[in-house]
């Protein structure tokens, strides 16, 4: 009974909501408005659950002195102070929540956390971004094209000259490392660059770097993203159907029938 009633409600509501989406009749629209009210009420309970779960998790960590318990004190105190200040003085622009907590504390702390990413990324890219395989080499070149093409400096660089710089870098790398593969790659690139002017009357040879970056984003990137989106959507529909039809019952939680 404990499981069958929720399953029946889920099946009925699931089918009703699916049908409702395609029926613009006033009764159908009224039903939809009613259910959005229910959604809001149910969502409000989620906030209570969220706060409760947050307090319980950190209290437990504090009680058992688990690793990082000092941070739990910070989390609980910060939550309590924000709540008390917000409830007591409100949320006005001139109030203490804004003047003493948000603007002088949260904004610089949050911004600093994100800003230091640039430094980590530079260091990580230097240490880990290697052209070990053909695929990673391709990724590296695509990354360069997008990185430079998407900033103002890229607007001053024709794609042709970008390839020339790449050829020089490959050549230097080939000589320094005495790698045959790199030298062969350089040779192929140089041949490509030599025949480049022959196709000048076509659009491609005259492309600037931002055009190329745009192509990378709009064609290969979009194809991959679209495939992922379709996959995720189909997965979502399949899961929703399994939930509605009672095949997937994980959401019911544990317990007896």
Partner 1 sequence: MKFFQYLLKIDRRIIYIIMGVLVMLPLIRPLGLGVTSGPRAARLFHAVDSIPAGKTLLISVDFDPASMPELYPMLTALMRHAFAKDMKVLLCGLWPTGAGLAIKAATDIPPEYGKKYGEDVVYLGYKPGVDAVILGMGENIKNVYPNDYSGRPLDSLPMMRDVQRLRDIPMVVALSAGDPGYSDWLRYAQSRYGMKVGAGLTAVSAADAYPFLQSGQLTGLLAGMKGAAEYEILVQKNGYSKAYMPAVAAMDSQSLAHVVIMILVIIGNIAYFATRKRRS
Residues near partner 1 (CB under 8 A) are 33, 36-37, 39-40, 42-44, 46-47, 90-93, 98, 102-103, 106-111, 113-114, 118-119, 121-123, 125-127, 129-131, 140, 144, 147-148, 150-156, 169, 172-173, 176-179, 182, 210, 214, 217-218, 221-222, 225-226, 229
CB of 28 to partner 1, least distance (A): 13
CB-CB contact of 222 with 215 (8 Å): no
Beta-carbon count within 10 A of 82 CB: 14
Comparison of 154 and 244: residue with beta carbon closer to partner 1? 154
- Residue 207 backbone zone (phi > 0: left; psi -120 to 50: alpha; other: beta): beta
Q: Which residues does residue 158 pair with via DSSP β-bridges, in sequence order?
A: 208
Beta-carbon count within 10 A of 114 CB: 8
CB of 64 to partner 1, least distance (A): 29
* Helices (H), ranges, the chain: 4-22, 26-63, 69-89, 96, 107-128, 134-149, 159-177, 180-195, 209-216, 222-244
CB-CB contact of 246 with 8 (8 Å): no
CB of 224 to partner 1, least distance (A): 9
* 208 φ/ψ angles, rounded to the nearest 5 degrees: -90, 170
Comparison of 108 and 247: residue with beta carbon closer to partner 1? 108
CB of 140 to partner 1, least distance (A): 7
CB of 182 to partner 1, least distance (A): 7
Comparison of 75 and 140: residue with beta carbon closer to partner 1? 140
What does each C-alpha distance from 96 to 88, 89, 107, 128 come to in angstroms?
A: 10, 7, 14, 45
Comparison of 69 and 215: residue with beta carbon closer to partner 1? 215
CB of 88 to partner 1, least distance (A): 14
CB-CB contact of 193 with 170 (8 Å): no
Comparison of 40 and 64: residue with beta carbon closer to partner 1? 40
Comparison of 4 and 103: residue with beta carbon closer to partner 1? 103
User: Alpha-carbon distance 6 to 257, whole Å?
Assistant: 11
Comparison of 62 and 79: residue with beta carbon closer to partner 1? 79
CB-CB contact of 30 with 51 (8 Å): no
CB of 218 to partner 1, least distance (A): 6
CB-CB contact of 163 with 154 (8 Å): no
């Amino acid at each position: 009974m404990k499981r069958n009633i929720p399953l029946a409600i889920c099946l009925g509501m699931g089918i009703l909501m699916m049908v409702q989406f395609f029926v613009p009749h006033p009764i159908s629209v009224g039903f939809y408005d009613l259910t959005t009210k229910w959604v809001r009420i149910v969502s409000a309970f989620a906030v209570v659950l969220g706060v409760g779960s947050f307090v319980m998790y950190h209290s437990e960590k504090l009680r058992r002195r688990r690793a990082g318990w000092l941070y739990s004190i910070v989390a609980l105190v910060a939550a309590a102070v924000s709540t008390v200040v917000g409830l007591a003085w409100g949320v006005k622009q001139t109030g203490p929540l804004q003047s003493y907590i948000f603007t002088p504390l949260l904004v610089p702390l949050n911004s600093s956390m994100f800003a230091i990413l640039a430094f980590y990324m530079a260091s990580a890219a230097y240490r880990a971004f290697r052209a070990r395989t053909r695929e990673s080499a391709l990724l590296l070149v695509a990354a360069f094209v997008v990185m430079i093409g998407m900033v103002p400096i890229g607007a001053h660089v024709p794609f042709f000259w970008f390839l020339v710089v790449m050829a020089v870098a490959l050549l230097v790398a080939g000589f320094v490392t005495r790698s045959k593969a790199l030298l062969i790659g350089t040779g192929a690139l140089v041949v490509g660059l030599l025949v480049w002017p022959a196709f000048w009357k076509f659009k491609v040879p005259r492309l600037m770097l931002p055009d190329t970056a745009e192509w990378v984003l709009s064609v290969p990137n979009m194809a991959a993203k679209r495939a992922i989106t379709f996959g995720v959507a189909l997965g979502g529909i399949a899961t929703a159907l399994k939930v509605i039809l009672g095949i997937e019952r994980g959401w019911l939680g544990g317990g007896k029938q």
